[in-house]
């Protein structure tokens, strides 16, 4: 065999060897999970595999701890109650589930547990802005824009600031003389 033939055979063997050593998957794993109805408010909590999504057909929140491979319905929030879920833009463990009326929920552990809280009125839905505004450095301070509606029109009300106080066990605590969720006008 001449030198060129030997180099050709050696090149083919080397390419096959490299191909088997560095073989990659053709693409990402895709897992399809059937939901009834459309989904909205899909988001990851930053720096985690935890994902939340709202099922528009059932108004329920579903949570995945496996980047969407498997899903469970959130148990702390009744089905049919959630209008929207909003992730805190500055704290990667906090999100708020806005109820349709005056009961809402907050999580500070990426949706593993949720605590309910009440507001005087429902969230402002008539504007194109979010009814929540989050404090940049204090995850427990949230402005809530509400609206009061009568039979013919809705009127936005002045925002209130809510402070969610948590103990070392991540549950709401009560200061003497103040409600569990304090509000300031």
CB atoms within 10 A of CB 51: 20
Running DSSP on this structure, what letter comes out for residue 34? -
- pLDDT, position 6: 63
pLDDT tens, 61-79? Answer: 999 999 999 999 999 999 9
Decide if 164 contacts 173 (C-beta within 8 A). Answer: no
Residue 8, pLDDT score: 61
Q: List pLDDT tens digits, range 105-133.
A: 999 999 999 999 888 888 887 666 788 88
Strand partners, 166: 172
Cα 69 from Cα 174, distance rounded (Å): 39
C-alpha span between 59 and 124 (Å, rounded): 18
- Rounded to 10 degrees, what is the CA torsion of 167, 172, 177, 181? 130
The answer to whether the CB of 67 falls within 8 A of the CB of 49 is yes
Weakest-pLDDT range from 31-35, 84-88, 173-177: 173-177
CA–CA separation, 25 and 128 (whole Å): 43
Q: What is the pLDDT of residue 124?
A: 83
**3-state DSSP assignment of residue 163:** strand
pLDDT of res. 183? 38
Pairing of strands 154-156, 132-134: unpaired
Name residues whose C-beta falls within 8 Å of residue 44's C-beta, 6 or more positions apart in sequence.
Answer: 50, 51, 67
Other Cβ atoms less than 10 A from the Cβ of 142: the count is 22
3 state DSSP class of 160: strand
pLDDT, averaged across the chain: 78
pTM over 0.85: no
| Structure confidence at residue 5 (pLDDT) | 63
In the predicted model, is pLDDT for residue 185 greater than 50? no
Q: Which residue has the higher pLDDT, 134 or 27?
A: 134
Tens digit of each residue's pLDDT (9 = 90 or more) over 79-105: 999 999 999 999 999 999 999 888 999
């Amino acid at each position: 065999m001449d030198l060129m033939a030997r180099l050709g055979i050696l090149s083919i063997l080397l390419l096959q060897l490299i191909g088997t050593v560095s073989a990659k998957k053709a693409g990402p794993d895709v897992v399809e999970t059937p939901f009834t109805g459309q989904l909205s408010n899909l988001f990851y909590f930053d720096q985690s595999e935890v994902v939340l999504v709202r099922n528009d057909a059932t108004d329920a929140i579903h949570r995945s701890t496996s980047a969407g491979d498997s899903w469970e319905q959130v148990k702390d929030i009744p089905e049919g109650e959630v209008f929207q879920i909003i992730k805190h833009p500055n704290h990667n463990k906090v999100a708020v589930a806005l109820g349709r009326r005056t009961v809402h929920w907050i999580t500070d552990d990426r949706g593993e547990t949720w605590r309910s809280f009440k507001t005087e009125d429902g969230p402002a839905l008539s504007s194109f802005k979010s009814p929540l505004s989050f404090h940049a450095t204090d995850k427990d301070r949230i402005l809530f824009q509400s609206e009061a509606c009568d039979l013919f029109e809705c009127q936005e009300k002045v925002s209130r600031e809510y402070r969610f106080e948590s103990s070392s066990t991540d549950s709401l605590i009560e200061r003497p003389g103040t409600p569990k969720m304090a509000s300031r006008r």
